[in-house]
Amino acid sequence: MRTMLAVGLAMLAVFSLAAAANPLLCPELPSGAQIRPENRYFDVLPKVVPANRESVVEIVPLFDHVRPIENCTYELTYAPMEYPRQQTGWEPGKKMVIVPENGHFRIKAFFEGEQEHTFIIESTCEDKKEVVGDFRIYSVKEDLYALRPYKGDFHMHSHRSDGVESPAYVAGICRRAGLDFMSLSDHRWYDGSKEAQRAYEGLPIDLNIYPGEEVHTPDNSVHILSFGADSGVTELYRDDETAYRADVKALMESLPPTPDGVHRFNYAASVWAVKQIRDRNGMAMLCHPYWITKNRHNVEEPLLSYFFETEVFDSLELISGFGWDELHAYDVNLLQVARYEEERAKGRRIAVCGISDTHGHEKGDAFGRFFTLCLAPTGELGEMIAAIKDLRSVAVETPAGTLQRAYGTYRMVKYAQFLLREVIPQHDELCFEEGRLMLQYAAGDTSATDRLKQSQGQTERLYNKYWSPVADE
């Protein structure tokens, strides 16, 4: 027994030392992301700068244990990720002395191209050398510099269809998980999303709650998501399918010959649904084409190929919110990404989204870890839809909460990789308290309103800080 106890204590001691030494063992956010120690202890201002221009960056220590020490010397090493030559002649990888100014480190550099930049600061105190931090900056061209990142999930279900929680609860937990915009998409039920809106109407919150619906047209196996439409589609045939069936029949008769294996009714019914969504100012997304139902993919391969060929949908659900065990059993997302890449290689222009498709927000490991990241001027509905259609979005997955991966065009993925590591975790931490207060309000505590007023605008202020130029003194 004593031997086992000694071994146990020794293992605990080893684990404690490893935890103390590992910079990734910081508190984990609902998304699975973590704030790096450099971003926890320092402000790096700005984090995003214009490309091909000279900018000033300040590294500001926030706590006494990381402030510059008198009589210590500091060296700076700079490394651009992609473009090795700087117009200012600063040799990458070469160390240079940097002297703190009023307790801050101030760096002026020409940031060439769209890329990530690494600044490593080391201290030497009485012959003891230590790394102060590994600080990251990203430079972007003007079109992206004017935009901000917004996180959203618009394929989710409440207890109004086959989910677990109420619409109000779902909206509150969305903000708690770091989302800037969301939409409920209950099966065949548009009003669930409107109920979520009504629950927080007039409240000082920064979460944008938009309407949505998962559309299942009669006798059509294809799942179609309506995001942001002014009204529902299911109402058009819920009580009487006569007009729907007449419209679909007319569409089938007007279609040119379709390839072998294409189910003409399902194709025509899908085209009909997309038109109804667009007529209502919404965006139509093809849902989880490789999802397994009845032991087969949800969308037959000839029909899916024809969808891509004729560009029926506004966007593709590239990343679906399957849990770790489900992905181990059959990796739907791997197939969807591979198919997306193949279609892109054919020259197709495909807008992509990532969603959680959550049916119980507190019981699964997908919610908050599968989402869409949009780059837009604001978080307004029209801007979100435009960002997705203009290929300014990426689909993000974090299976098991271990590693965030973004999918989309190379330019967007490269930038998103930086944002997800260096910016979004701080954003998510600010969202957590607002989401908690929203849930408190939904539970009947109206005193949460005053505290929500105090937190309103904090994520916008964070972004303003990270994008605002530092004066060149």
Question: How confident is residue 27, by pLDDT bands cut at 50, 70 and 90?
Answer: low
Phi first, then psi: give them for residue 271, nearest 5 degrees: -60, -40
Q: What is the pLDDT of residue 86?
A: 64
pLDDT digits (tens, 9 = 90+) for 127-160: 899 999 999 999 999 999 999 999 999 999 999 9
Residue 392, amino acid: R
Average pLDDT over residues 167-175: 97
436-450, pLDDT tens digit by residue?
A: 999 999 999 999 999
Backbone angles phi, psi at 155, to 5 degrees: -130, 90
Q: How confident is the model at residue 20 (pLDDT cuts 50, 70, 90)?
A: very low
| Sign of the C-alpha dihedral computed for residues 411, 146, 463 and 109 taken in this order | positive
pLDDT of 8 above 70: no
What are the chain's domains? 37-141 (2.60.40.10), 148-459 (3.20.20.140)
Supply the pLDDT for residue 89.
Answer: 67
pLDDT tier at 18, thresholds 50, 70, 90 = very low
The per-residue pLDDT for 12 is: 33
Both tokens of 259, joined, read: 């390839």
d(CA 44, CA 40): 10
Please say if the pLDDT value at position 62 is more than 90.
yes
Residue partners of 64: CB distance under 8 A and separation at least 6: none
Confidence label for 272 from pLDDT (cuts 50, 70 and 90): very high
State which amino acid sits at residue 340.
Y
Evaluate if residue 364 carries a pLDDT over 50: yes
Q: Which two tokens stand for residue 60?
A: 């500001």
Instruction: Report the interhelical angle of 191-199 vs 167-176 (nearest 10°).
Output: 70
Residue 21: pLDDT band (50, 70, 90) is very low
> pLDDT for 288-328, tens place per residue?
999 999 999 999 999 999 999 999 999 999 999 998 889 99
Distances, alpha carbon 117 to alpha carbons 86, 268, 341, in Å: 12, 50, 28
Beta-bridged to residue 183, according to DSSP, are 210
Report whether pLDDT(287) > 80.
Answer: yes
- Would the pLDDT of 227 be above 80? yes
| pLDDT average, residue stretch 118-125 | 96
Q: What mean pLDDT value characterizes the chain? A: 92
pLDDT of residue 26 exceeding 80, the answer is: no
pLDDT digits (tens, 9 = 90+) for 75-98: 999 999 997 766 666 777 789 999
**Between 56 and 27, where is the model more confident?**
56
Q: How high is the pLDDT of residue 451?
A: 95
pLDDT band (50, 70, 90) for residue 25: very low
User: Is the confidence at residue 111, as pLDDT, over 60?
Assistant: yes
Residue 324 has a pLDDT of 87
